[in-house]
Amino acid sequence: MRMIHFDAVSKLYANTTAWALHPTTFTIEAGELMVLLGESGSGKTTLLKMVNRLVQPSSGAVRVFERDVREQDPISLRRGMGYVIQNVGLFPHFNVADNVAVVPRLLKWPESQVRERVDELLERVGLSAAEYRARAPHQLSGGQRQRVGIARALAARPKILLLDEPFGALDALTRANLQLELRRLHEALGLTTLLVTHDLAEALTLADRIAVLRSGELRQLGTPAQLLHAPADAYVAELIQSVVAQAARVSELARRASS
């Protein structure tokens, strides 16, 4: 099933002269983890925000759950999808539990059910509920805040998860752990996930398929193996070459260190 379909969507922002996104068409299938990869300004966030109607395409249409998003109520559309951004935007005066509970409470779930769901989600994202539910956001590390952000996004059991550079501000180890956990959650919950990153290594390790954007143009859409073995153009080839060369240098160092 086509979960998200971009049908020739483009974007020219008001009072600008360059297209942020040229007409772009592709589909994200149900259960797929799609990564939007590109450097800063390539149009990744623009494309992502078309899914939850934070950005209105200048032409073309976005279909979610097989329906044009313009025919869907924006509030219920957004409640059907989790949304995680780089610095989370946790409410600073709410504790962890109240942050995770925001949407279930808006949906007027019974309070006992809300509490149960909060504890279940905190454990799911690797935080002991007993230890963390009453903490304030400022009492958490960056990685823990991102975990709470993911728990909050999943609270109302969305089918779709949107993440915009969710691990961008984290140190390498925390980032690697959260990448693995995100992949596990994606599988376990049967999500359809769209993740934005500028980090090719992150894209290669996480994605089922990668959409490579440059200057608002979709340059290649393929599996990590396809990008590695058959880059569509010189730009993608150079991008791939840069991580391959870096990985080779690291293995060479490791080889020398152990010999």
Distance CA 6, CA 47 (A): 9
Question: For residues 45 and 95, which CB has a smaller minimum distance to Mg ion in the complex?
Answer: 45
Main-chain phi, psi angles of 40, to 5 degrees: -55, 135
**Taking CB within 5 to 8 Å according to partner kind, which of Mg ion, ligand ADP, none is near residue 17?**
none
- Where does this chain touch ligand ADP (CB under 6 A) — which range of 41-49, 82-90, 232-240, 241-249? 41-49
For residue 44, state whether it binds ligand ADP (rule: CB under 6 A): yes
User: Between residue 174 and residue 233, which ones bind Mg ion under the rule CB under 5 A?
Assistant: none
- Where does this chain touch Mg ion (CB under 5 A) — which range of 37-45, 182-190, 213-221, 228-236? 37-45
When binding is defined by CB under 6 A, the residue of 23, 43, 158, 222 that contacts ligand ADP is: 43
- Least Å distance, CB 201 to ligand ADP, is 17
When binding is defined by CB under 6 A, the residue of 38, 57, 149, 224 that contacts ligand ADP is: 38
**Taking CB within 5 to 8 Å according to partner kind, which of Mg ion, ligand ADP, none is near residue 20?**
ligand ADP
When binding is defined by CB under 6 A, the residue of 4, 20, 33, 90 that contacts ligand ADP is: 20
Radius of gyration for the alpha carbons in the chain, expressed in angstroms and rounded:
19
When binding is defined by CB under 5 A, the residue of 10, 42, 45, 99 that contacts Mg ion is: 45
**Taking CB within 5 to 8 Å according to partner kind, which of Mg ion, ligand ADP, none is near residue 40?**
ligand ADP
Distance CA 256, CA 94 (A): 51
**Taking CB within 5 to 8 Å according to partner kind, which of Mg ion, ligand ADP, none is near residue 52?**
none
- Residue 30's closest CA among 197, 159, 200? 159
Distance CA 251, CA 256 (A): 9
For residue 40, state whether it binds ligand ADP (rule: CB under 6 A): yes
Distance CA 35, CA 179 (A): 12
Distance CA 227, CA 103 (A): 38
Query: Both tokens of residue 153?
Result: 């996004």
- Least Å distance, CB 15 to ligand ADP, is 7
Q: Are 189 and 154 in contact (CB under 8 A)?
A: yes
For residue 42, state whether it binds ligand ADP (rule: CB under 6 A): yes
Size of the site for Mg ion (CB under 5 A): 1
Burial label for 235, CB within 10 Å (0-12, 13-18, 19+), is: middle
When binding is defined by CB under 6 A, the residue of 10, 24, 46, 95 that contacts ligand ADP is: 46
- Least Å distance, CB 199 to ligand ADP, is 12
Query: Both tokens of residue 149?
Result: 């952000």
Main-chain phi, psi angles of 155, to 5 degrees: -55, -45
Distance CA 20, CA 112 (A): 46
> DSSP per residue over 31-66, as a string?
T-EEEEE--TTSSHHHHHHHHTTSS--SEEEEEETT
**Under the rule (CB under 5 A), what is the footprint of Mg ion?**
45
**Under the rule (CB under 6 A), what is the footprint of ligand ADP?**
13, 16, 20, 38, 40-46
